């Protein structure tokens, strides 16, 4: 039986689950065809798109992986948050308006693989097939990391077998995503994003009050570092040049994350990217700062050897600081971070199977059957990810890092080139895409390499180099491709740039 404390916490989490299912049901009522199911009919307001992109981006690593790394090592791990914030701003500033205009101009594409295929006139469909396969492979790992985080959450909070956590978190997320699709993922993301931000701001503030202010916390950390030879208060303590580069390089990943940039495609117009950027980056600064503060302050609150798993430091703070019911809602923010990312990834994986791979068989389906196939795809990807999560041996942060690098290094350079370089060809894009994906796969699994330099760096650079060289060696794009490029460029310029 649950203790009184656990019963209060469970009550809050049940209320949270019920809210997510209700939102999913409302989204189901608004989903009529595959365009609605995969992209919400391109009718997202900028605030919704911004909060949804942020919540879809910041998975369980923000409330578990990142605070855990800071708790264990110190502020040097904050370079990840710095790199991500800069990368997110650049992505909103340079990718969002052009991608929104270009995907509509290029055959009204509703997925990244279909956009690349239409943009580069890939009659062979090789680019679309390769893109779809990369989406499926890396998103299966990504969804698996979310389920692993769910298992860790329930094991830490209630002391139950993590398998039940995987089943519960995966099952609830699957249920509302299965029926509500993109709209369910987006609307739940907004609620989850606000809950995450509130929790990430509240926990450090209460810690500061309880421990007697910033000065007292600083003194406690300085004393601990002095006696243990640690560097919790230094951005460079124990760091290497390659280590800092690797951490900041997380920001490169933004340009190639399908579950994030698909929100740009769903905006009502390119003009609304400006407001979306301001809202999204404001949310991110507050949330990332809260995660960094919670991780570092956890050292002052707990001795670093108190927690068996450092990635539970945020959970432990919430349970110790708040009434069990309020703590339950704070802990629900962790589930929000996990589930918001998983739902977005499941929708994009579904689109890769249905829009980018199945449709290439030439079979024609009714709008209703397309949605049914989309839901079956969501179910299939979730099932494979659940099996992988039960066999996972890496930390949440390492699992997310690998999948993040896979997308960033494969799609990132190609998205940038497709939006800003008219000379890009389908063969250049295909060669770069495969080079980036394979480099991450190989580099990331060789400890002597990945232990010194994050795999996204060589993957991104080699992709860019290969794509440019092969494009220049290939026949130039046709007049129609160039004309379409200029049309999309002009439409994006109509959006204010400040």
CA distance 344 to 84: 19
What are the structure tokens assigned to 377, written together? 């795809």
Closest CA to 273 of 90, 150, 411: 90
Name which of 471, 490, 496 is nearest 102 in CA terms: 490
Evaluate whether residue 165 is within a structural domain: yes
Is residue 115 one of the residues assigned to a domain? yes
Position 233 in a domain:
yes
Spatial distance between the Cα atoms of 396 and 373, rounded to a whole number of angstroms: 30
For residue 1, the model assigns a pLDDT of: 47
Residue 187: give the domain boundaries.
Answer: 4-396
**Residues of the chain predicted below pLDDT 70:** 1-4, 31-41, 59-60, 178-179, 303-306, 353-368, 370-371, 374, 391-397, 494-498
Do 127 and 120 touch, CB atoms closer than 8 A?
A: yes
315: CATH: 1.20.1730.10
Locate 159 and state its tokens: 């002391």
Q: Is residue 73 part of a domain?
A: yes
pTM, full prediction: 0.84
Q: Is residue 389 part of a domain?
A: yes
Q: How far apart are CA 391 and CA 25, in angstroms?
A: 32
Dihedral, CA of residue 252, residue 255, residue 258 and residue 260, to nearest 10: 90
**What does the pLDDT read at residue 62?**
81
Q: Pull the structure tokens for residue 188.
A: 């739940």
Task: Specify if 83 maps to a domain.
Answer: yes
CA distance 330 to 315: 8
Within a domain: 462: no
Give the count of beta carbons closer than 10 Å to the beta carbon of residue 282: 13
CA-wise closest residue to 28 among 180, 167, 207: 180
Classify the phi-psi angles of 463: left when phi > 0, otherwise alpha if psi is within -120 to 50, otherwise beta: alpha
Beta strand ranges found along 341-427 (DSSP E): none
Cβ–Cβ < 8 Å for 128, 113: yes
Query: Tell me, what's the pLDDT at 41?
Result: 63
Q: Answer yes or no: are the C-beta atoms of 58 and 146 closer than 8 Å.
A: no
Q: Find out whether 190 and 343 touch, Cβ atoms under 8 Å.
A: no
Q: Check the CA dihedral 385-389-392-394 and report its sign.
A: positive
DSSP assignment of 247-312 equals HHGGGGGGGG-HHHHHHHHTBS-GGGHHHHHHHHHHHHHHHHHHHHHHHHHHHHHS-TTS-SSGGG
Residue 457 lies in a domain: no
pLDDT digit string, tens, across residues 54-100: 877 776 678 877 888 888 888 888 998 999 999 999 999 999 999 99
Residues present in the chain in total? 498
Domains identified in the chain, total number: 1
CB 116 within 8 A of CB 279: no
Using alpha carbons only, how large is the chain's radius of gyration in Å? 22
| Count of helix runs (H) and strand runs (E) in the chain | 22, 0
């Amino acid at each position: 039986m649950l203790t009184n404390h656990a019963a209060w916490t469970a009550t809050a989490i049940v209320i949270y689950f019920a809210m997510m299912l209700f939102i999913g049901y409302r989204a189901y009522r608004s989903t009529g065809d595959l365009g609605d199911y995969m992209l919400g009919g391109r009718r997202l307001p900028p605030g919704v798109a911004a909060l949804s992109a942020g919540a879809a981006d910041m998975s369980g690593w923000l409330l578990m992986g990142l605070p855990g790394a800071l708790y264990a090592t110190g502020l040097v791990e904050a370079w990840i948050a710095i790199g991500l914030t800069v990368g997110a701003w650049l992505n909103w500033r340079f990718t969002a308006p052009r991608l929104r205009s270009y995907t509509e101009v290029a055959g009204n594409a509703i997925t990244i693989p279909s956009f690349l295929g239409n943009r580069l006139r890939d009659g062979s469909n090789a680019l679309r097939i390769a893109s779809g396969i990369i989406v499926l492979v890396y998103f299966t790992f990504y969804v698996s990391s979310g389920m692993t985080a769910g298992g860790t959450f329930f094991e830490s909070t209630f002391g139950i077998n993590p398998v039940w956590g995987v089943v519960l978190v995966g099952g609830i997320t699957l249920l509302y995503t299965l029926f509500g699709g993109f709209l369910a993922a987006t609307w739940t993301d907004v609620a989850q994003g606000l809950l995450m931000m509130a929790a990430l701001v509240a926990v450090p503030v209460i810690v500061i009050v309880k421990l007697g202010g910033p000065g007292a916390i600083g003194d406690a950390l300085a004393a601990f570092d002095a006696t243990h030879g640690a560097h919790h208060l230094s951005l460079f303590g124990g760091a290497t040049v390659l280590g800092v580069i690797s951490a900041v390089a997380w920001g490169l990943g933004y340009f190639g994350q399908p579950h994030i940039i698909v929100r740009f495609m769903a905006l009502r117009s390119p003009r609304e990217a400006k407001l979306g950027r301001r809202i999204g980056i404001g949310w991110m600064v507050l949330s990332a700062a809260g995660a960094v503060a919670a991780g570092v302050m956890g050292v002052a609150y707990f001795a670093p050897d108190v927690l068996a798993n450092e990635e539970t430091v945020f959970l432990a703070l919430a349970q110790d600081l708040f009434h069990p019911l309020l703590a339950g809602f704070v802990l629900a923010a962790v589930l929000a971070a996990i589930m918001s990312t998983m739902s977005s990834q499941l929708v994009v994986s579904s689109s890769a199977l249905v829009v980018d791979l199945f449709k290439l068989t030439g079979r024609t389906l009714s709008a209703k059957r397309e949605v049914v196939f989309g839901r079956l795809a969501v179910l299939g990807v979730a099932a494979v990810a659940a099996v992988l999560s039960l066999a996972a041996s890496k930390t949440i942060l390492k699992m997310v890092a690998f999948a993040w690098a896979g997308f960033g290094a494969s799609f990132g350079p190609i998205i940038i080139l497709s939006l800003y370089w008219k000379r890009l060809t389908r063969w250049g894009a295909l060669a770069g895409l495969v080079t980036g994906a394979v480099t991450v796969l190989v580099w990331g699994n060789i400890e002597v390499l990945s232990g010194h330099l994050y795999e996204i760096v060589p993957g991104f650079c080699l992709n860019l180099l290969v794509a440019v060289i092969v494009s220049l060696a290939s026949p130039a794009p046709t007049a129609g491709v160039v004309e379409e490029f200029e049309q999309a460029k002009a439409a994006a310029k109509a959006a204010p740039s400040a």
